[in-house]
Amino acid sequence: MENIIISEHQHSQLTQEAIKLGASACVVITSGEIQVKDDLAALCNGEYPCPNYGLGASCPPNVEGPAEFRKWQSRSRYSLVVKIELPISVMFSDERKDVMRLLHHIVAGVEQKAVENGFEQSKAFAGGSCKDLFCEDQENCCVLAENEPCRHIASARPSMSGFGIDVTQLMLSCGWPGQKAEKSNASDTESTSWVAGLILLA
């Protein structure tokens, strides 16, 4: 099935699921609004000093990248964007990993709900490295090392970064501020920041 239209009932079911699972906000956008940039994906190509490069099945060079994303995007009419707002002091603390795991849990849960609603080819994307977030205490990603199913298949999803998704533009498409607060403001108890994820409905 291609370019399935979303009904009001599905719209409400999916956005409510995101909020129920812990999202601060969820917006439906047309998938064509998602901007995918090769140069952003290139930041994950191994030259950029990401300590998680190549360690998990959900990070480059083990993900399909921008070209494949654009094919998925062409077969999708609508997408959901979720965000979790958090105090900036948490964003730059050890608690950040808990928030990132929650983000994965939310997008994977909404993806599952989308599948139940007839969007059987839906794909969810989060942020951060699943090796770092879910398998930090494991020597290897078992998908890569042993060709076994992911240990956290119900939650762990690939990061938007590896596909070159322009997250700032994604936020603006939702009518949300695109910029994140700076680390230099981490002691400001009033400041908030956000993390975001995406579910491509198809």
Distance CA 142, CA 145 (A): 5
Write down the least CB distance from residue 92 to ligand SF4, Å: 24
Query: Shortest Cβ distance from residue 97 to ligand SF4 (Å)?
Result: 13
- State how far the Cα of 182 lies from the Cα of 192, in Å rounded to an integer: 10
Residue 104 engages ligand SF4 in binding (rule: CB under 6 A): no
Q: Per rule CB under 6 A, is residue 163 in the interface with ligand SF4? A: no
Q: With contacts defined by CB under 6 A, how many residues of the chain interact with ligand SF4?
A: 14
User: Site residues for ligand SF4, window 125-154 (CB under 6 A)?
Assistant: 130-131, 134-135, 141-143, 150-152
Using the minimum distance from each CB to ligand SF4, give the nearer residue, 63 or 81: 63
Q: How far is the CB of 20 from ligand SF4 (least distance, A)?
A: 23
CA gap 112, 165 in Å, rounded:
22
* Nearer residue to ligand SF4 within complex by CB, 58 or 117: 58
The whole-angstrom separation of Cα 78 and Cα 31 is 5
Least distance (Å) between residue 105 CB and ligand SF4: 12
Among residues 199, 198, 160, the alpha carbon closest in space to that of 40 is found at: 160
Cα dihedral across residues 101, 105, 106, 108: positive or negative:
positive
Residue 4 found at the interface with ligand SF4 (CB under 6 A): no
The tokens describing 114, both together, are 């989308």
- Which of positions 27-86 make contact with ligand SF4 (CB under 6 A)? 56-58
- Residue count of the chain: 202
Token pair listed for 145: 């090392």
- Residues near ligand SF4 (CB under 6 A): 56-58, 130-131, 134-135, 141-143, 150-152, 156
